[in-house]
Chain A
Amino acid sequence: MSHNPDTETFAGNPSNRRRGSAYFNTLLARPESPALLFLILLLVVFSVTTNGFFSASNFLGILEQVVIIAIVGLAVNQVILSAEIDVSVGSVLAVCAFIYGNIAMAYGGNLLPLFAALAVGTAIGFLNGVLSTYGRVPSIITTLGALFIYRGLILLLAGAQVLNVPKSSRVLGLSDLAGIPVSVIVLTVLTAAFYWVSNNTNWGRNIYAVGGNESGANTLGLPAYRTRLIAFVLSGSACGLAAAVFLGQIGQLQATAGTSFELRVITAVVLGGTSIRGGRGSVFSPIVGALLVGVILNAMTLNRVPGTMELFVLGVLILLSVSSEGLRQRYLEKKI
């Protein structure tokens, strides 16, 4: 096709930036990079200032601590990217843990309870998703309802039950491979899988499209409902997997387990740079966010800061990160 050679008007300002600076800007423009920079800074500062912080065992400890939040965060991140929200994961995690625990106590083993927990989590996620999309109920309402319903069910049906899971059924929480906890390996594999799927499947790309510009997505005929439904389903399944790790780590369970877990997950996602409005964020956001929280809480413990400070610190962190994001966006708009 021939074209008008008058390219000047169309071109605006073609960028003639130097390669290095362009690379730097691209890196800086990534949603998770401020949190990552802050994380690295904290790692350096704590390594210098805090006794016992800089050691392999402490780092593995931190990883183990954040692994449950990170697993569920990976999936909830996709829900938030699609401009929906899932606040039910605390209760869903507890339901899945009860399923896991009961089946492990009745039949033993690891795979059967894991599959049962995954199946139940997936089913709950599916229900949340169908209601929030085809059912046209706003997802904040659907999942708020789910948060109460599933917690209520546990209190009703198993309020007095005390679960003690046999050691043989706690592989995901206790065992390690070559010195690395199995749960951390699971998280790594899962992160890689999410990264691949997000970049290399239509669903992964559609999530950003649907969350970033819904009317645009409709004009192109993208399957908005199905895209979001899959994110909700993944969120439920992730709760099933996280429940197995959770029970594996602590071994016993009460009806109040996982209370306010959903808020920690959302905290990790948002701290990691995913916009709560959807459409903007990275697969790595929940990982970086969860690590940030884990590192800060660990350093607080090592420095004997009372645990009662925890919530206060988390709150300040959220407000700081979100307000600094606005400033960063302004800077980037000038730069690019």
Chain B
Amino acid sequence: MPDVSSPSSRRLLCALRNVSKHFGNIQACQDIDLELYSGEVVAVVGENGAGKSTVSKCLYGLYSPSRGHVEVNGKPVAFRNASDGEKAGIVMIPQELDLFPELSVVENIWMGLERPRYWHGAFNSSAMERRARQLLHQLGLIVDVTTPAKLLSAANGKLVEVARALNANAQVIIMDEPTASLTEREVSNLFSVVRALKRSNVAVLYITHRLEEVFEVCDRTVVLRDGKMISDRPADQETEAGLVKKMVGRPVEQLFVRHFHEIGDVVLEVEGLHSGSTFQDVSFQLHKGEILGISGLIGAGRSEIVETLFGLRDRTAGTIRLHGEVANISCVREAFDHGIGMVPEERRTLGLILPFSVKNNVTFSSLLRFTRGIFIDTAAEDKFAEKAAREVTIVGAGLDDPVSALSGGNQQKVVVAKALARNPRILILDEPTRGVDIGAKSEIYRIIDGLAKQGHAVLMVSSELNEILAMCDRTLVMREGRLVSSFDRKDFSPDEIGSAAAGVAVNPSVA
């Protein structure tokens, strides 16, 4: 893409000077020197726990650095809180949607900012709405601005957050994994927004786990490892493999793990499954030892299908057969009894009890295994948790530490260990590697591969096409609540799966 900004318009907006931050005796980041210029997109990459979020929190004022300082327009500043940072033009867009669910889009766009007023002091709501519509129009989003934020999709919610940042006159926008919950098409639209921000001379600090995004949209890459800055170079001088090497600090291992596994009889058969208006007429079979993917856009009804299979959602029609027998799964307990385990999409809210210890999280859905009479055999529980934690290689905290102390990747491993604790014959994984660093990803793939080899059946919902392509034996594609196609491994093609999910005809370049 041609860079329209001339060198003279490249202006230093803000910088971290020699910034260190420690919590107690834990050094979260150390001697970070980072400059941000107008009109550039700077990628910050690193594994979980490398200090990416600490660095960004120091920049926008949520944390005050233990040593060093933040500089804005060449002058040192001391932010006391996030709103000081915002006043200086540095705005954060967090990874998880952080809108106010009950408030309207307009209210969200103006929250925490100086609202326009009439001469008599009342807020000028029509001016507020006008501004909101104008900003959303710039971002190419058409929604009723009086809609409560809770009714927005993840992608639209992200754009509302960008609109709010623009409304705060942001010079620097920090985006923490903005694409984590977006589908491919939404991602490419977000990229065009990022490029537009760049053209209007905003600097974007782009934190991501997806390295291909770095090369698509970023000008400069900063690699962090163990709280230290490992490199800061133009993106066109980097390669994906080189970045990974710097991030992990050791030679790159193979990310995806896949061994031959034998595919056996049908274990799960779904026929004509409906659930209200969320999905209709879904039929498929899952075999022993098979990894079956469910691909599609967010909101296509993928999570809803697996929730129905797991008894979290009522089905309105259709039959579920397990090993040839009709199974009536109406609650999670029945799903457990039928040997179905699930790793849910939102690990923090659905998968884990954050203040509980690692051990209690691993065992708490299968406590009956360790129960003698009415008492829990804690020795057996300890032994089991220890073994489970070793199998999924949980690192970063002891078994008795709260699970909230772990990094995202390790938390996810705890959720997997919990699901495996009941020894399910069918394991459902909903976005198993979302927000997980490369090391932990590879571990999770290894676990999935191992399960299939042992003859478990795996059903994997994923928005990451690479993951589906590399891991699955077969994939289903959902669109707007319907199963639109199915691909065997030998027929896998990213283009065809992508266009089936988006409902667009394949570009007939060959014909």
Q: CB within 8 Å of B: which residues of A?
A: 1-7, 9-12, 14-15, 22, 26, 29, 196, 199-200, 202, 205-206, 208-209, 212-213, 215-222, 279-280, 333-334, 336
Contacts and interface: CB of A to CB of B under 8 A. Distances in A.
A12 B123 CA distance: 30
Enumerate the 9 nearest inter-chain pairs by beta-carbon distance, A residue then B residue, closest first: A221-B83, A221-B82, A4-B192, A216-B98, A220-B112, A11-B142, A7-B140, A280-B102, A14-B142
Given A6-B189, A12-B156, A221 B84 contact: yes
A220 B82 contact: yes
Nearest to A216: B98
B147 interface: yes
A1 B140 contact: no
B424 to A, nearest CB: 31
B78 interface: no
B229 interface: no
Q: Which of A2, A5, A200, A221 has most B Cβ within 10 Å?
A: A221
Nearest to A204: B123
Contact of A11 (B103, B141, B148): B141
B189 A9 contact: yes
A219 B193 CA distance: 22
Contacts of B196: 1-4
Contacts of B151: 333, 336
B94 interface: yes
Interface string B180-200: 000001100100110011011
B378 interface: no
A92 B84 CA distance: 38
Greatest chain A CB density within 10 A among B112, B189, B193 is at: B112
Contacts of B147: 15, 336
Contacts of A29: 148
Contacts of A280: 102
A131 B201 CA distance: 46
Interface residues of B, number: 50
B121 interface: yes
A219 B168 CA distance: 14
Contacts of A218: 62, 82
Nearest to B153: A12
Interface in B104-162: 107, 110-112, 115, 117, 121-123, 138-144, 146-148, 151, 153, 155-156, 159
Contacts of A212: 100-103
A5 B101 CA distance: 28
A238 to B, nearest CB: 23
A205 B111 contact: yes
Given A1-B197, A11-B140, 13 more contacts: A9-B185, A9-B186, A199-B123, A200-B121, A205-B103, A205-B107, A208-B107, A209-B100, A209-B112, A213-B98, A219-B94, A279-B100, A336-B148
7 contacts: A3-B193, A4-B196, A22-B144, A212-B103, A215-B98, A221-B85, A221-B112
A29 B150 CA distance: 13
Contact of A10 (B99, B102, B142): B142
Given A11-B143, A205-B107, A215-B98, A222 B112 contact: yes
B61 interface: yes
A217 B277 CA distance: 34
Given A2-B199, A205-B111, A219 B98 contact: yes
B112 A10 contact: no
B86 interface: yes
A220 B108 CA distance: 11
A4 B143 contact: no
B193 to A, nearest CB: 7
B493 interface: no
B95 to A, nearest CB: 11
B98 A3 contact: no
B189 A220 contact: no
B92 interface: yes
A213 B123 contact: no
B371 interface: no
Contacts of A9: 155, 185-186, 189
B142 A208 contact: no
B285 interface: no
Contacts of A205: 103, 107, 110-111, 115
Nearest to A334: B277
Contacts of B61: 221
Given A216-B99, A333-B151, A3 B138 contact: yes
Given A200-B121, A213-B99, A216-B100, A3 B277 contact: no
B81 interface: yes
A219 B156 contact: no
Nearest to A201: B123
Nearest to B139: A3
Contacts of A222: 83, 111-112
Contact of B122 (A7, A26, A200, A209): A200
Nearest to B186: A9
Contacts of A199: 122-123
A195 to B, nearest CB: 11
Contacts of B94: 219
Contacts of B85: 221
Contacts of A196: 122
A15 B186 CA distance: 20
A196 B118 CA distance: 13
Contacts of A15: 143-144, 147
B140 A221 contact: no
Given A220-B112, A336-B151, A4 B189 contact: yes
Given A222-B111, A336-B147, A6 B122 contact: no
Given A1-B200, A4-B189, A6-B140, A208 B82 contact: no
Nearest to B159: A10
Given A4-B196, A10-B189, A14-B142, A219 B103 contact: no
A229 B190 CA distance: 39
Contacts of A221: 61-62, 81-86, 112
Contacts of B123: 199-200
A141 B196 CA distance: 51
Contacts of B197: 1
B186 A3 contact: no
A220 B92 CA distance: 8
A208 B100 contact: yes
Contacts of B98: 213, 215-216, 219
Interface in B434-460: none
Contacts of B156: 10, 12
Contacts of A220: 82-83, 86, 111-112
A218 B86 CA distance: 12
Nearest to B121: A200
Interface string B381-392: 000000000000
Given A1-B199, A3-B193, A221-B84, A213 B101 contact: yes
B307 to A, nearest CB: 16
B26 to A, nearest CB: 21
Contacts of A215: 98
Nearest to A208: B103
Contact of B141 (A7, A202, A219, A279): A7
